[in-house]
Amino acid sequence: MRRREFVVGALSTGALVTTLPAASATPFAADALSGAVPYGAAIRIDELADILYSEAVRTYCKVIVAEGAMKWSDLQAVRGSFTFEPTDTLLAFAQDNDIELRGHTLAWYAALPEWAERISSAEEARTELVHHIDTVVGRYKGRIRSWDVVNEAIAEDPTPDAPYRDSVWLRHLGPDYIELALRTASEADSSAQLVLNDYEFEQPTDQARAKRKAFLDMVRGLKSRNVPLHAIGLQGHLRGESAVDSPGISSFVAELSALGLGILVTELDVIDDQLPGPIEERDKLIAARAREFLSAIGSVVRPEIVVTWGVSDQHTWVPIWFSRQDGLPNRPLPLDENYQPKELMRVIQDFTQSFA
Ligand code: XIL
């Protein structure tokens, strides 16, 4: 039914007719899969005006997150003046379509407006961090259930002496900013799910091992101080060329869930700049890499959601950092540039449905 609407919608625009219908993976039959893990994607709000884009989101997603609109630089470009319209639009789209909107993100080293980068004292940092979180979480209380409270708190290359990533928050408040952010979010909405989100845990490297250790140390510390924290977001920006450390990820997830934390896959995509060019070969490798990652998690826990960082190869952040030397477009996401499902979509479907 939904698939039909998707195809009809596409045809009525007169666009891409020759590419439809050619689904190798059908959309999720939402009603038949009430036990399945919800799938979703990061959304570019402006693209919702494109019928192919919005129909793809409606067809496949049960959960969405703003790719950019809810970061500091968008929400509070001018100090003290909040811009909520895009988020409100996205929330209305979500509610109209029975989709859950997640919040991303309340404390991050990046996507800060210039004024916030210039914060110059601990007192100022504390005041602004609390004000922002209190205002944003308070506004969406009861409407946004799950928040990436702190994003990427762990250093790129953590050492025992320097486990945390540099940021205006860390510089002025030390690692206590993490606790402050979580406590403030909890006060603003005591029923919100509070998440720490981070990346690059899955690589078979010393760096990833050190990241997992630093992250677990941080989480144990927070838990021992009774800081409100409910779940962990594994971003999952996988490197196509690099094997997943399956035992490493499985035991990491097991330790986190033993601490009573839920596990979310929040930003899955497969970075394909180092993979061979031919599409069929590349798509297979991409799908296999995602399967490895999801299986390593799923063998231990049932993740609460699987979210990809975008829905179609037409709109992906990957080329910003990982464009291919041969000039071919990246293909990191479950739908291709014409919104046709790829093998990666099949992997996600199989995975999410395996819990139904
Ligand atoms: C990225 C967006 O996709 C880009 O469009 C933007 O320019 C920079 O941020 N980890 C995260 C996301 O948590 O917020 C990032 O999103 C990608 C990496």
- pLDDT tens digits along 20-71: 334 456 776 654 556 699 999 999 999 999 999 999 999 999 999 999 999 9
pLDDT at residue 33, as a whole number: 55
pLDDT at residue 337, as a whole number: 98
| Mean pLDDT on 321-338 | 98
Residue positions counted in the chain = 356
User: Per the domain annotation, does 122 fall within a domain?
Assistant: yes
How far apart, in whole angstroms, are the C-alpha atoms of residue 115 and residue 123?
15
User: Per the domain annotation, does 121 fall within a domain?
Assistant: yes
User: In b/e form, how buried is each residue of 212-231, taking b as 16+ CB within 10 angstroms?
Assistant: bebbeebbeebeeeebbbbb
* Residue percentage of the chain with pLDDT more than 90: 90
* 179 classed as catalytic: no
User: Per the domain annotation, does 201 fall within a domain?
Assistant: yes
> Could you give the number of structural domains in the chain?
1
Cα–ligand 1 centroid distance for 68 (angstroms): 7
Reply yes or no on whether the pLDDT at 341 is more than 90.
yes
Nearest protein Cα to ligand 1, atom 14: 67
Domain span including residue 192: 3-17+29-353
User: Per the domain annotation, does 181 fall within a domain?
Assistant: yes
CATH number reported for the structural domain that contains residue 291 in this entry: 3.20.20.80
Which residue out of 239, 317, 333 has the highest number of ligand 1 atoms within 8 Å of its CB and is therefore the one to mutate?
317
Take residue 282 and report the two structure tokens written for it: 């590349």
pLDDT at residue 27, as a whole number: 72
Sequential DSSP letters for 181-217: HHHHHHHH-TTSEEEEEE---SSSSHHHHHHHHHHHH
Nearest protein Cα to ligand 1, atom 4: 317
pLDDT at residue 258, as a whole number: 98
Q: Dihedrals φ, ψ of 307, to 5°?
A: -120, 130
Take residue 257 and report the two structure tokens written for it: 């869930």
User: Per the domain annotation, does 230 fall within a domain?
Assistant: yes
Q: Of 23-37, 71-85, 125-139, 333-347, which range is least confident?
A: 23-37
User: Per the domain annotation, does 229 fall within a domain?
Assistant: yes
pLDDT in tens, 138-181: 999 999 999 999 999 999 999 999 999 999 999 999 999 999 99
pLDDT in tens, 305-318: 999 999 999 999 99
User: Per the domain annotation, does 265 fall within a domain?
Assistant: yes
Nearest protein Cα to ligand 1, atom 16: 67
Atom of ligand 1 nearest to the CA of 316: 3
* Residue percentage of the chain with pLDDT more than 70: 90
User: Per the domain annotation, does 24 fall within a domain?
Assistant: no
Mean pLDDT over all residues of the chain?
A: 92
pLDDT in tens, 284-300: 999 999 999 999 999 99
68's enclosing H/E stretch is none
| Mean pLDDT on 333-348 | 98
Nearest CA to 308 among 28, 38, 3? 38
Cα–ligand 1 centroid distance for 226 (angstroms): 30
